[in-house]
Structure 1
Amino acid sequence: MNSSLANTTMKGKDQMKSSHSCIPSASSQILQKCCIRGNQKGKHDCDLPCSFSSESHVLSTVNIFEMAQAQLLHHTSKKEDDPSIASQPLNSHSDLSLEVLDDFQLALLLQASAEMFSKRHYERATELLSLCNLSASLTGTPVQRVVYYYSEALREKIDKETKSITGLQLDRLVDFEVKPTGVEELFLCSKPHSEKRLHLIDFGIRSGSHWTILMQALANRGDYPLELLKITAIGTSKQVVDETGKRLSSFAAENMKFPFFFKAVVSEMKDLSKDLFELDTNEVVVVYSEYILGGMLAWPNHLEVVLRFIKNLNPCVIVVIETEANTNEPIFMDLFNGSVFLYAALFDCLEAFMERDNQHRMEFERLVLREVIHNVITCEGEGRIFRNVRLEVWRALFEKFGIKETELSESSLYQANLMADRSAHGFCTLDMDGNCLTIKWKGTPIVFASAWKFVHD
Structure 2
Amino acid sequence: MSNGNGSGDGNGVVSSYAGNFVVPNFFSGSDLELQFKRGVEEANKFLPKFSPLVIDLESNVVVKAEKEERDYSPNLKGKKNHDREDDGFEDERSNKQSAVSVDETELSEMFDKLLVCNGRDEKPSCILHYEAPENEVKCSKQNGLANGSNGKKKSRAKKSQGNNNEAVDLRTLLILCAQSISSDDRRTANELLKQIRQHSSPFGDGSQRLAHCFANALEARLAGTGTQIYTALSAEKTSAADMLKAYQAYISACPFKKVAIIFANHSLMHATSSADVIHIVDLGILYGFQWPALIYRLSKRPGGPPKLRITGIELPQGGFRPAERVQETGRRLAKYCERHNVPFEYIAIAKKWENIRIDELKINKGEFVAVNCLFRCKNLLDETVVVSSPRDAVLRLVRQANPNMFMHAIVNGSYNAPFFVTRFREALFHFTALFDMLDANMGREDQMRMKFEKEFYGREVMNVIACEGSERVERPETYKQWQVRNRKAGMKQLPLDPLLMKKLKCKVRGKYHEDFVVDEDGEWLLQGWKGRIVYASSAWVPA
Shorter-chain-normalised TM-score: which range? Answer: 0.7 to 0.9
The CA deviation string for residues 130-178 of structure 1, in whole angstroms up to 9 with x for no partner, is: 1111011010011001101111211222233xxxx79735327579998
TM-score by length of 2: 0.63
Partner of 1:46: 148
Tell me if structure 2 keeps the 8 A contact 1:191–1:409: no
Cα offset, 1:12, TM superposition = 10
| Equivalence for 1:231 | 310
Q: Does 1:387 align with 2:472?
A: no
Match of 1:157 in 2: 221
SS at match of 1:132: helix
RMSD: 3.3
Instruction: Please report how far the alpha carbon of residue 271 of structure 1 lies from its aligned counterpart in structure 2 after TM superposition.
Output: 2.1
SS of match in other structure, 1:231: strand
Shift of 1:398: 1.7
Residue 412 and residue 207 in structure 1: after superposition, are their counterparts in 2 closer, same or farther (change >3 A)?
A: farther
Distance 2:8 2:454 in 1: 33
Decide whether aligned partners of structure 1 residues 128 and 100 sit closer, same or farther in structure 2, where only a CA change above 3 A counts: closer
Q: Which residue of 2 aligns with 1:36?
A: none
How much does 1:359 deviate? 1.9
Q: In structure 2, what residue type is equivalent to 1:153?
A: A
Which letter maps to 2:441?
A: F
CA distance in 1, matches of 2:226, 2:515: 42
Quick one: distance in 1 between partners of 2:157 and 2:495? Answer: 36
Alpha-carbon shift at residue 251 of structure 1 (Å) = 1.7
- Counterpart mapping for 1:330-345 below 5 A: 330-345=418-433
User: Does residue 1:168 correspond to 2:210, yes or no?
Assistant: no
* In 2: Cα distance, 1:368 partner to 1:438 partner: 22
CA distance in structure 2 between the partners assigned to 1:203 and 1:453 by the alignment: 16
Tell me the alpha carbon deviations over residues 250-306 of structure 1, each in whole angstroms, 9 at most, x when there is no partner: 2222224x5222222222212211222232111010000122222113455222222
> Retained in 2: the 8 A contact 1:113–1:125?
yes
CA distance in 2, matches of 1:119, 1:167: 21
Instruction: Return the letter of the residue paired with 1:54.
Output: S
User: What is the Cα deviation at residue 443 of structure 1?
Assistant: 1.7
Does residue 392 of structure 2 align to residue 276 of structure 1? Answer: no
For residue 52 of structure 2, what is the aligned residue in structure 1? none
In 2, the alpha carbon distance for the partners of 1:367 and 1:435 equals 33
CA drift of 1:340 comes to 1.1
Query: 2:397 aligns to what SS in structure 1?
Result: helix
- Counterpart CA distance in 1 for 2:5 and 2:286 is 34
Higher relative contact order (CA 8 A, sep 6+): 2
2:279 to 171, 174, 199: 199
TM (norm. structure 1) is 0.75
Amino acid in the other structure paired with 1:331: F
| 1:167–1:391 CA distance, 2 compared to 1 (3 A) | closer
Are positions 1:409 and 2:494 aligned together?
Answer: no
Q: Deviations over 1:3-33 (max 9, x none)?
A: xxxxxx997999xxxxxx9899xxxxxxxxx
AA matched with 1:181:
K
- Identical positions, percent: 25
- Contact preservation (8 Å) 2:395, 2:489: yes
Distance in 2 (alpha carbons) for counterparts of 1:168 and 1:248: 35
> Any stretches of 5+ residues in structure 1 without a counterpart?
1-8, 15-20, 25-40, 62-96
- Which of 175, 180, 185 is matched with 1:116 structurally? 180
Residues 1:426 and 1:49: Cα distance change in structure 2 (over 3 Å): closer
8 Å contact 2:157–2:439 — kept in the other structure? Answer: no
SS in 2 for 1:46: helix
Cα offset, 1:226, TM superposition: 4.3
* Counterpart amino acid of residue 108 in structure 1: T
Alignment of 1:141 onto 2:243 = no
Partner of 2:37: none
Deviating more after overlay: 239-248 vs 405-414: 405-414
Superposed, which structure 2 residues align to 1:370-449 within 5 Å?
A: 370-449=458-537
Which runs of structure 2 are paired with 1:235-384 in the superposition (5 Å)? 235=314, 236=316, 237-256=322-341, 258-298=342-382, 301-384=389-472
Following TM superposition, by how much is the alpha carbon of 1:216 offset from its aligned partner in structure 2, in angstroms? 1.9
Confirm or deny that 1:213 pairs with 2:293.
yes
1 CA distance for matches of 2:312 and 2:227? 35
Q: Which runs of 5+ in 2 are unaligned?
A: 10-15, 20-142, 238-242, 251-255, 317-321
Deviation of the 1:323 alpha carbon: 0.5
After TM superposition, give the deviation of residue 42 of structure 1 in Å: 5.4
- Aligned 8 A contact 2:17 2:169 in 1: no
Q: 1:251 to 1:410 in 2, by over 3 A?
A: farther
- In the TM superposition, residue 448 of structure 1 has moved relative to its aligned partner by 0.8
Q: For the Cα contact (< 8 Å) 1:157–1:377, is it kept in 2?
A: yes
Is the 1:133–1:148 contact (alpha carbons within 8 Å) kept by the matching residues of 2?
yes
Say whether the 8 Å CA contact 1:273–1:309 is kept in structure 2.
yes
Secondary structure of the residue aligned to 2:369 is strand
| Secondary structure of residue in 2 paired with 1:209 | coil
Alpha-carbon distance in 2 for matches of 1:348, 1:10: 19
**Cα 1:359–1:276, aligned 2, differ >3 Å: closer, same or farther?**
same
Q: Is the 8 A contact 1:205 1:233 kept in 2?
A: yes
- Residues 319 and 452, structure 1, Cα contact 8 Å, conserved in 2: yes
Cα distance change, pair 55–118 in 1 and its aligned pair in 2 (3 A): farther
Q: Indicate if the aligned counterparts of 1:197 and 1:226 stay in contact, CA closer than 8 A.
A: no
In structure 1, distance between residues paired with 2:355 and 2:288: 22
2:268 to 165, 182, 188: 188
Q: Secondary structure at the match of 2:496?
A: coil
Retained in 1: the 8 A contact 2:433–2:532? yes
Task: State the distance in 2 between where 1:166 and 1:375 align.
Answer: 7
